[in-house]
A = this chain, B = another copy of it.
Amino acid sequence: MDRDYLHRIRHAALRERVVSADQAAGLIRDGMVLGMSGFTRAGEAKAVPMALAQRAKHDPLKVTLMTGASLGNDLDKTLAEAGVLSRRIPFMSDPGLRAAINAGKVMYIDQHLSETVEQLRTRQLPAVDLAIIEAVAITETGGIVPTTSVGNSASFAILAEKVIVEINLNQSEHLQGLHDIYIPTYWPTRIPIPVVTPESRVGFPFIPIPPEKIAAIVISEKLDSSSTVTLPDAETRMIAGHLTEFLKNEVSRGRLPATLHPLQAGIGSIANAVMHGFIDSPFHDLTMYSEVLQDSTFDLMDAGKMVFASGSSITLSAPKYADVMGRFQDFKSKLVLRPQEISNHPEVVRRLGLIAINTALEFDIYGNVNSTHVMGTQMMNGIGGSGDFARNAYLSVFVTKSLAKGGRVSSVVPMVSHVDHTEHDVDILVTEQGLADLRGLAPRERARVIIANCVAPEWRDAIADYHDRAVLRGGHTPHLLEEALSWHDRLRRTGSMRAE
């Protein structure tokens, strides 16, 4: 293996720091705060956390784990089952860890993804003791070249006392040159972030740290997990169709150019399907300024519809991964990966005027959106970047299927059981039934538009009846408080929102 990796550690003195994953995991002590690479199942450190979980079997310890976002390779599951996690920040999507969080065994801090390093830098979160970063290579000056995600890796490495680098030999060397690492200047001499288009390159192609901070280097070979995104289905195609029609109308009214504005799409099957729908749209020369680049990004590029995409990670299905990595040089000039602080930064999101498309778990008749909590109590995955984008975008769109659980659950409810995006921040709601344009409407007007356009037919009478009776009681935002959450409570008790 020696010859395979030596050229990836271009700072020659650092080659002496190569150790086994077990040895590197030995640097981790009970109570430490770990800052680990990994964003939407892409580019996470793999060997050291697995070694840590193994070690915990005979040497129990607890750590706070911060990452960019969710991890692949069942790492969150493995670490949760090993009892290693006392605290997890800021996003996860693993069922095993989710169960531990909902049982109150792991303290989970569900943060806007742009904010974690801001709070670290200002010491509002506990300091990172050790950063563990997957890399393609280490440069001549000791700079770390990330792999398929940047996430929070740059700030973790800069702020941590020590850094462990995992050189992954199966991550393509062609990834070098893809990244743009920019760290905002520090208060009180903060200046504007110079990103003015999705294409702007404003930083370094590596994470610049003093090489002496690199305490250990581990050689790994495990691939990223594949995306779990499912193919578009009839309903997601209808959602995409409604949104495309709406955007065509905006173009014809002169509110948007035919190139639209830069697009952001949340992770998951529905957002991916919506993006996929743009392949058959009349829009052209599209750009993305998003957090995760999924299969649809590359399909849009291959279809000649998309000219540039900025993200913080690349998360693909297995066949798409093989395809994209096989001809990565063709894509590289059309891509940039940034720290999630920059990909999701309120300043840049507002400046670029994004069209932000994110998935709702449920929304209510007044336009409040729940992205995180099933029945108001059970954490699903976390808010992720949806708040960073929705709050500051030019157009804030939320999509969901109108029904869940085989029709026992309506995704449109009288009152959401948890609010992640308030009525003040939501412009457009889309289900397979249709689209509600809430811009410039008062709550009572929104309710009529949402009920008419977004609710599944079998739920429409019940929700209209709720609203009618609430209006009789009055108020700017009419509600029947004794009944507002009764659909969720019935679901909890009976497994269905339907009245018995």
Contacts and interface: CB of A to CB of B under 8 A. Distances in A.
Contacts of A471: 104
A419 to B, nearest CB: 4
A58 interface: no
Interface string A331-371: 00000000000000111001111000000000000001000
Contacts of A108: 442, 476
Nearest to A439: B124
Contacts of A94: none
A363 to B, nearest CB: 13
Contacts of A253: 123
A488 interface: yes
Interface string A464-491: 0000001101111111011011101100
Contacts of A254: 123
B109 A440 contact: yes
Interface in A371-392: 373, 375-379, 383, 387, 391-392
B124 A418 contact: no
A426 interface: no
A190 B349 CA distance: 11
A255 B481 contact: no
B489 A440 contact: no
State the number of copies, please.
2
Given A346-B392, A376-B481, A440-B124, A190 B352 contact: yes
A110 interface: yes
B190 A479 contact: no
Given A108-B442, A417-B481, A476-B377, A187 B422 contact: no
Given A417-B481, A481-B417, A394 B475 contact: no
Contacts of A478: 377
A222 to B, nearest CB: 30
Interface residues of A, number: 85
Contacts of A474: 102-104, 377-378
A203 interface: no
Contacts of A352: 190
Interface string A440-452: 1110110000000
A104 B187 CA distance: 46
Given A119-B440, A424-B110, A474-B377, A391 B394 contact: no
Interface in A186-208: 187-188, 190-194, 196-197
Contacts of A375: 475, 481
A182 to B, nearest CB: 13
A107 interface: yes
A122 interface: yes
A364 to B, nearest CB: 11
A112 interface: yes
A471 B103 CA distance: 9
A101 B110 CA distance: 35
B102 A475 contact: yes
A489 B481 contact: yes
Contacts of A194: 192
Contacts of A87: 442
Contacts of A441: 107, 109
A31 to B, nearest CB: 15
30 contacts: A102-B474, A102-B476, A104-B474, A107-B445, A108-B442, A109-B441, A119-B439, A122-B255, A122-B394, A123-B253, A123-B255, A124-B427, A187-B394, A188-B261, A346-B347, A346-B350, A346-B391, A373-B475, A375-B481, A376-B475, A377-B473, A377-B474, A377-B478, A378-B474, A378-B475, A379-B477, A387-B422, A418-B477, A481-B485, A482-B489
Q: Which 5 A-B pairs have the closest CB atoms?
A: A192-B192, A377-B475, A379-B476, A419-B419, A107-B442
Given A110-B476, A123-B255, 4 more contacts: A110-B424, A192-B192, A383-B424, A482-B489
